[in-house]
């Protein structure tokens, strides 16, 4: 019963919540669709938080996505032990990078008074969810060996069963508790997404890709402007 609730109902509730929350926030307060960056308040620690976190987490998510979209290619790649090691170690190294960035980011917001002012409860809930997600993922990779292979043969078909609206929780029901928690927490992150800074993912400078080049012209007499400044 609980497996049905967690692995056949929760994912849909999370996706519905994600879609509804994202749309409502965009319609009501579109200008909050941003990271609300604090880089201008402090730059050095910001660099050592943001850069490793993003490279790490994006790399990990690309590997997850490959397991979902091209599971047979992952299984083909993993058929040679050396290649399996490379993939597993790359995943773990990227996870370390993301963890390093996340911990730096939390430390930065905890220790700098200026940043405390612009940090709210939603930021801390998000930090906690991400921390739990990364740590559980790393423990899964360490204690339940060759996850990239069994992700492709068990987790991927379960995710596809959800996408095809014919959920088959049996694929994940027998998995160890740690992995189940990793999966459940992923859907909690998805449900909480609309209430966080993560909404910036949906508006990453996308328009820059197709909008016309902007030309900025100096429109004031320089000397006058310098005096009045």
Other C-beta atoms within 10 Å of 23: how many?
11
Site map for ligand HEM, 117-146, x if CB under 6 A? ----------------xx--xx-xx-----
For 217-227, give one letter per residue: b (16+ CB within 10 A) or e: eeeeeeeeeee
Q: What distance in Å separates the CA atoms of residue 127 and residue 106, rounded to the nearest whole number? A: 7
Q: DSSP code of 144? A: S
Element (H, E) at 62: helix 44-69
Other C-beta atoms within 10 Å of 95: how many?
22
Report residue 26 CA to chain centroid gap: 20
Contact pick of 66, 84, 102, 155 for ligand HEM (by CB under 6 A): 155
87 vs 115 by CB, closer to ligand HEM: 87
Q: Does 162 bind ligand HEM (CB under 6 A)?
A: no
Contact pick of 52, 71, 101, 147 for ligand HEM (by CB under 6 A): 147
Site map for ligand HEM, 73-112, x if CB under 6 A? ---------------x--xx--x--x--------------
Contact pick of 64, 108, 109, 180 for ligand HEM (by CB under 6 A): 64
Site map for ligand HEM, 189-218, x if CB under 6 A? x-----------------------------
CB of 183 to ligand HEM, least distance (A): 5
Alpha-helical (H) ranges within 174-221 are 177-192
CB 138 within 8 A of CB 99: yes
The residue ranges that bind ligand HEM (CB under 6 A) are 57, 60, 63-64, 88, 91-92, 95, 98, 133-134, 137-138, 140-141, 147-148, 151, 155, 159, 182-183, 186, 189
């Amino acid at each position: 019963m609980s497996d049905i609730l967690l692995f056949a109902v929760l994912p849909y509730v999370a996706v519905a919540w994600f879609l509804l929350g994202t749309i409502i926030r965009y319609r009501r307060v579109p200008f909050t669709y941003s990271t609300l960056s604090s880089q201008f308040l402090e730059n050095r620690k910001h660099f050592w938080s943001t850069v490793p976190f993003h490279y790490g987490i994006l790399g990990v998510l690309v590997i997850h996505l490959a397991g979902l979209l091209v599971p047979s290619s992952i299984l083909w790649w993993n058929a040679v032990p050396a290649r399996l090691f490379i993939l597993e170690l790359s995943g773990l190294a990227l996870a370390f990078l993301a963890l390093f960035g996340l911990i730096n980011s939390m430390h930065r917001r905890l220790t700098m008074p200026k940043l405390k002012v612009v940090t709210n409860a939603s930021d801390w809930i998000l930090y906690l969810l991400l921390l739990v997600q990364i740590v559980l993922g790393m423990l899964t990779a360490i204690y339940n060996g060759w996850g990239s292979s069994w992700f492709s043969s068990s987790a991927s078909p379960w995710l596809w069963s959800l996408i095809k609206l014919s959920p088959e929780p049996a694929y994940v029901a027998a998995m160890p508790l740690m992995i189940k928690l990793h999966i459940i927490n992923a859907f909690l992150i998805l449900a909480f997404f609309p209430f966080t800074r993560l909404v910036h993912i949906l508006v990453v400078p996308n328009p820059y890709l197709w909008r016309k080049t902007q030309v900025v012209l100096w429109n004031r007499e320089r000397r006058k402007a310098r005096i009045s400044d």
